Amino acid sequence: MKELVLPAINKFGSGCISLLGEMAKEKKLKKALIITDENLNKLGVLNGVYTSLENHNIAYVVYDNVHPNPTITNVNEATALYHDYACDFIVGVGGGSPNDCSKAVGILASNGGDIKDYEGFNQSNHPAPLTFLVNTTAGTASEISRAYLISDPDKQEKLIFKDINALPYCSFNDADMMINLPASITASTGMDALTHAIESYVSVGAYRLTKELSLSAIKLVFENLVEACENGKNVEARDNMIYAQTLAGIAFANAGLGLVHSMAHALGGVYNLPHGLCNAILLPEVMVYNNKKVEAEYAEITDYLYPGLMMTTSEKAVYLIEKVNELSIRVKTKTPLNELGVSIDGLDILADKALEDGNLPRNPIQPTKKEILEIYERVY
């Protein structure tokens, strides 16, 4: 059985955030809990959100302490604010971190208890309050997914949740809110989208529809990421990266991911590193590892990107891996782990955690701990 799960409404285009207040008013909502991070708030990225709500007399309270990898504490603090101020809906604004936190808060607000009670698949009983997620990066696609990750600092790991009750009501992708995004974040989130697309294409859960979405996303990333990094005010490039990350998000939310994300989640849980950057670092090496099983699929991607190449299937697969590596170098995400504070002695622990990650079962090959360790060592 196949299924395609998406928010009920998804808004795209310059200025679409102005519709937020009107939509809330139509639903007779009174007070929003806005969940974001301090930097976005200070930079004025949320001004359009505030204006839209104020124009329709919608009250709001702001929680802007979300960490780059949202923690259980973030979830608990924001949930307390939701109840203390009698909010009746949630607005998440940011990349994957605020939007993942928003979904977790929604589940706790409606179901109570401890967020760890809901780890896994569809563990809650009641839908979250209506949740509007506003994306400010083009990469994570958290705003269209029912899945979310929350860091447990005590265990040094990311808890994975996938819950239909956490599915947002509406997503917003407004390029105007991304114009001033730094090149480094544009690059890492863009490579995150590419990872979503490539991993979902070769996932054991992939099917015809998700593969078509993945292919389109991969092409858009290759055609637009460099320009979006080098000329952030190019709205067309920003829009195309929005479309890329959305297509990739729909694909992976329904087909699943794999080893890159399992290993990236371990890095994020232990070292609190940016998720997209971890994916970018790992993607080419994991592709080399998976190539022995999905060579034909990698060749299909190459044919889609570069039609007419006079190469064998094997050569096309290797060519794709080379192109992914070249793109990572071009946008400056190819960084050794030893430059990011990762300890060589800690790789063994990372391998253990990657083996336990919920994304691993959909990888085309089930690796041993030794094989995972070898991949970490190659990018170290």
Nearest alpha carbon to residue 132 among 240, 20, 48: 20
CATH number of the domain residue 63 falls in: 3.40.50.1970
Cβ 87 vs Cβ 33: under 8 Å? yes
Q: What are the pLDDT digits (tens) for 149-187?
A: 999 999 888 999 999 999 999 999 999 999 999 999 999
Residue in the block written with tokens 């590596």: 325
Residue 340 lies in a domain: yes
366: confidence class by pLDDT, cuts 50, 70, 90:
very high
Residues 298 and 233 in one domain: yes
Q: Give the integer Cα–Cα distance in Å for 233 and 255.
A: 33
Using the 3D structure, point to which of 130, 155, 177 is the last residue of a domain: 177
Residue 1 lies in a domain: no
Residue 59 lies in a domain: yes
Residues 69 and 173 in one domain: yes
Task: Give the total number of structural domains in the chain.
Answer: 2
115: confidence class by pLDDT, cuts 50, 70, 90:
very high
Residues 163 and 198 in one domain: no
Nearest alpha carbon to residue 254 among 362, 367, 98: 362
192: confidence class by pLDDT, cuts 50, 70, 90:
very high
Residue 302 lies in a domain: yes
Residue 249 lies in a domain: yes
Using the 3D structure, point to which of 177, 208, 237 is the last residue of a domain: 177
Beta strands in 105-198 (DSSP E): 120-121, 131-135, 147-152, 157-162, 170-173
Residues 242 and 142 in one domain: no
Note the pTM of the prediction, 2 decimals.
0.94
Residue 3 lies in a domain: no
CA distances from 126 to 108, 110, 164 (A): 10, 6, 10
**Domain extent at residue 128:** 9-177
Can you give the three-state secondary structure of 326-344, one letter per residue?
A: HHHHHCCCCCCHHHHCCCH
Q: Give the integer Cα–Cα distance in Å for 111 and 129.
A: 10
Average pLDDT over residues 88-103: 97
Residues 195 and 300 in one domain: yes
Residues 131 and 196 in one domain: no
Residue 4 lies in a domain: no
Using the 3D structure, point to which of 152, 177, 202 is the last residue of a domain: 177
CATH number of the domain residue 203 falls in: 1.20.1090.10
Residues 221 and 314 in one domain: yes
Question: Angle at the Cα of 348 (from 346 to 352), degrees rounded to 5?
Answer: 120
Whole-number mean pLDDT of the chain? 96
* Interacting residues of 348 by C-beta distance below 8 A, sequence separation 6+: 373
Residues 143 and 211 in one domain: no
Q: What are the pLDDT digits (tens) for 321-340?
A: 999 999 999 999 999 999 99
Residue 91 lies in a domain: yes
Residues 79 and 163 in one domain: yes
Residues 195 and 263 in one domain: yes
* Interacting residues of 177 by C-beta distance below 8 A, sequence separation 6+: 17, 45, 48, 134, 135, 136
Residues 36 and 59 in one domain: yes
Least confident of 89-93, 152-156, 220-224: 152-156
Per-state percent for the chain, helix, strand, coil, to nearest 5: 60, 10, 30
> Judging by beta carbons within 10 Å of its beta carbon (0-12, 13-18, 19+), is residue 123 exposed, middle or buried?
middle
Residues 188 and 63 in one domain: no
Token readout for 279 is: 């994916």
